Amino acid sequence: TPIPVIAIDGPTASGKGTVAHRVADRLGFHYLDSGALYRLTALVALRHETSLKDEHALAKLAAGLPCSFVGEHIYLGKEDVSQAIRREEVGNTASRIAVLPAVRHALVGLQLGFRKPPGLVADGRDMGTVIFPHAQLKVFLTASVAARAERRYKQLIEKGFAANMADLLQDLTERDARDANRSIAPLKPAEGAYLLDTSDMNADEAVSQVLNWYAAVR
């Protein structure tokens, strides 16, 4: 039998990360935060001052990321970059380089490698559409822009970063547009995806819903 995959896609700050992570914990599955790979590539590009127009150089960085995932922590070589990759500047740069086909292509193998027994919960923008099109369960998680901006605001403040609501709203709107309108792997619900609007739902409720759907298809 194939190793099961639950693909959870959705826009920025829709709560996918929290939900996907908890679903993985509950099932004892591995967890792939695919956005972190784009963020890692962005972090390295920013540090090397690589031009965001140099697709070839950026793809090379993506293909050679010396990254490792240990529990909740993400490393670049020996450096724990779990916090550094959450900066808004890094997220914004990640969304800019994510439009480049060569960069996306360079990260495919790394993502497929996360599918190990007993199963995987993968979170991103194209998990159900491109990377794991045969996932046993596909979920498209959404929430209103206002709800997402508020969540992102709280997250940033909790992590000790400065945050400004007006800037966040603008950034979210821009990032949504970039993710939805790019020609390669645009953000959209996968064929057969279950839609979950979490605007008025807490994380526990969303997790239960996903687990119920999974129990029905497994």
The site for ligand C5P (CB under 6 A) is made up of 12, 34-35, 38-39, 91, 94-95, 98, 124-126, 175, 179
The verdict on whether residue 15 carries a ligand-binding annotation is yes
Short-list 33, 30, 23, CA closest to 212: 23
Q: Which is nearer to ligand C5P, 29 or 132 (CB)?
A: 132
Q: Which is nearer to ligand C5P, 22 or 39 (CB)?
A: 39
- To ligand C5P, the closest distance from the beta carbon of 92 in angstroms equals 8
The crossing angle, in degrees rounded to 10, of helices 145-158 and 165-181 is 120
The verdict on whether residue 192 carries a ligand-binding annotation is no
CA-CA distance, 23 to 141, in Å (whole number)?
A: 13
Cβ-proximal residues to 200 (8 Å cutoff; 6+ apart), any chain: 147
The verdict on whether residue 51 carries a ligand-binding annotation is no
Q: Which is nearer to ligand C5P, 136 or 155 (CB)?
A: 155
The verdict on whether residue 13 carries a ligand-binding annotation is yes
Alpha helices in the chain (DSSP H): 16-27, 34-48, 55-63, 88-97, 101-106, 108-112, 145-158, 165-181, 203-217
- To ligand C5P, the closest distance from the beta carbon of 124 in angstroms equals 3
CA-CA distance, 67 to 176, in Å (whole number)?
A: 27
Q: Which is nearer to ligand C5P, 95 or 209 (CB)?
A: 95
**Feature table: binding site for ATP:** 10-18
**Feature table: binding site:** 10-18
